[in-house]
C-alpha cells in the first residue's frame, strides 16, 4: 500500500489518493448543499440586507429609497423611545439574569442534596419552561390584576395595599422581571443539575479526606469551581434570553404605560412592522446584533481562558 502510494505520487498525474479524496469531496458537497443554500438564503443574505437597509430610509409601501449614511444611527441616539428601550432592556436583564441564575443554582443544590421528591420538584420548577409563555403571561396578568387579582387580594388580607403591578410605570418592569425569572429559573436549574451530576463523586471524597469539614468548604473547594463552565454558559444564555424579552411585553403591556416597558425587540417590532420604517428598524437591529456579538465574544474569551480545565 505504502509503496503503491509512493510510486503513484511520484509518477502518475492523478494519484489514487486524489481520486478518493475527490469522490469524498463530491459526496460532502452533495450533503451540505441544501444547508448551504438555506443558510445563504435565510441567514447570510438577510443579515447583509439588514446592515444595508440600516443605511437607507426604506419604508414598506414606498417604492423608492435613498441612502442616508449614518443618519438612522444618529437619529437612534437622540430617539427618546429607543434610549428608554435600551435602558429598560438593560435594567430588565440586570434583574432577571442574576436572579434566575442564583435561583437556578440554589434550587439545583437543594434538590441534589434532598432525596425525597426529587423528580416532583424538578417537574414543578421546570414546568414554566415547557409552557406557552404567551398563555402563562395571560395567567400572570390575572394574578397581577390590581383589583380582582389573587396577589393583591392576598395582600389585602394581611392589610397591605398591593401595587398596580402591570399598570404603574414604576412597577411594570419589575413585574415583567418576576415573570421572566419564573419562566427561566427552571431551565437554569436543569442545566445546573446536569453540571452537578457530572462532578465525580471521588472529588468530594478527596475533599473530605483532605480536611474539608463543612458543606461550605466542600462547595468552595469542589462544587463551585467544577460548575465553572456550566455557570458561564448559564450566565451567557440568561443574559441573551433576557435581552430578547418580547412575548410578555407584547402580550401584557405593549410597551406601556408611558413607554415604561419598552424593550429592544418590542421597539424594533413597532418601528419595523407596525410603522413599517424598515430602514430605521434595521439600524436598531444592527445595534441589537452588536450587543449579542459582544456577549458571545465575552463568553468565548472567558471560556477559553478561565474555566476550561481539560
Site for other proteins in 222-241 (CB under 8 A): 222, 225-226, 228, 230, 233, 237
Q: Does 140 bind other proteins (CB under 8 A)?
A: yes
Closest separation between CB of residue 78 and other proteins, Å?
22
- Of 17, 29, 94, 170, the residue at the interface with other proteins (CB under 8 A) is 29
- Of 15, 98, 128, 257, the residue at the interface with other proteins (CB under 8 A) is 128
- Residues 278 and 182: their CA atoms lie apart, in Å, by 34
Closest separation between CB of residue 41 and other proteins, Å?
8
Closest separation between CB of residue 218 and other proteins, Å?
9
The nearer residue to other proteins, 173 or 236, going by C-beta atoms, is 236
Closest separation between CB of residue 80 and other proteins, Å?
22
The nearer residue to other proteins, 111 or 260, going by C-beta atoms, is 111
Site for other proteins in 250-309 (CB under 8 A): 250-251, 265, 268-269, 272-273, 278, 281-282, 285, 288-289, 292-293, 296, 307, 309
Site for other proteins in 175-214 (CB under 8 A): 182, 185-187, 190-191, 193-194, 200, 202-203, 205-213
Closest separation between CB of residue 248 and other proteins, Å?
10
Q: Does 21 bind other proteins (CB under 8 A)?
A: yes
Cis peptide before 179 (omega within 30 of 0): no
Q: Does 9 bind other proteins (CB under 8 A)?
A: no
The nearer residue to other proteins, 91 or 240, going by C-beta atoms, is 240
Site for other proteins in 80-99 (CB under 8 A): none
The nearer residue to other proteins, 6 or 43, going by C-beta atoms, is 43
Residue with C-alpha cell 380582582?
148
Amino acid at each position: 500500500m505504502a509503496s503503491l502510494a509512493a510510486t503513484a505520487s511520484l509518477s502518475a498525474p492523478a494519484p489514487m489518493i486524489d481520486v478518493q479524496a475527490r469522490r469524498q469531496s463530491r459526496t460532502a458537497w452533495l450533503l451540505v448543499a441544501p444547508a448551504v443554500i438555506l443558510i445563504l438564503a435565510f441567514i447570510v443574505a438577510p443579515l447583509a440586507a439588514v446592515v444595508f437597509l440600516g443605511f437607507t430610509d426604506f419604508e414598506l409601501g414606498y417604492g423608492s429609497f435613498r441612502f442616508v449614511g449614518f443618519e438612522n444611527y444618529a437619529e437612534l441616539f437622540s430617539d427618546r423611545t429607543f434610549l428608554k428601550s435600551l435602558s429598560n432592556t438593560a435594567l430588565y436583564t440586570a434583574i432577571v439574569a442574576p436572579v434566575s441564575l442564583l435561583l437556578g443554582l440554589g434550587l439545583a443544590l437543594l434538590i441534589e442534596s434532598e432525596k425525597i421528591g426529587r423528580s416532583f420538584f424538578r417537574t414543578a420548577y421546570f414546568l414554566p419552561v415547557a409552557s406557552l409563555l404567551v398563555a402563562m403571561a395571560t395567567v400572570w396578568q390575572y394574578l397581577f390584576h390590581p383589583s380582582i387579582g389573587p396577589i393583591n387580594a392576598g395582600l389585602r388580607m394581611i392589610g397591605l395595599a398591593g401595587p398596580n403591578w402591570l399598570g404603574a410605570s414604576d412597577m411594570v418592569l419589575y413585574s415583567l422581571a418576576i415573570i421572566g425569572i419564573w419562566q427561566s429559573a427552571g431551565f437554569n436549574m436543569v442545566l445546573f443539575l446536569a453540571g452537578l451530576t457530572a462532578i465525580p463523586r471521588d472529588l468530594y471524597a478527596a475533599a473530605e479526606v483532605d480536611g474539608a469539614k463543612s458543606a461550605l468548604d466542600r462547595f468552595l473547594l469542589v462544587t463551585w469551581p467544577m460548575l465553572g463552565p456550566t455557570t458561564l454558559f448559564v450566565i451567557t444564555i440568561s443574559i441573551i434570553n433576557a435581552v430578547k424579552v418580547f412575548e410578555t411585553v407584547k402580550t401584557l403591556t405593549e410597551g406601556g404605560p408611558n413607554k415604561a416597558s419598552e424593550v429592544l425587540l418590542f421597539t424594533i417590532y413597532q418601528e419595523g412592522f407596525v410603522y413599517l420604517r424598515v430602514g430605521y428598524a434595521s439600524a436598531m437591529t444592527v445595534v441589537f446584533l452588536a450587543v449579542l456579538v459582544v456577549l458571545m465574544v465575552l463568553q468565548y474569551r472567558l471560556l477559553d481562558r478561565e474555566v476550561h480545565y481539560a
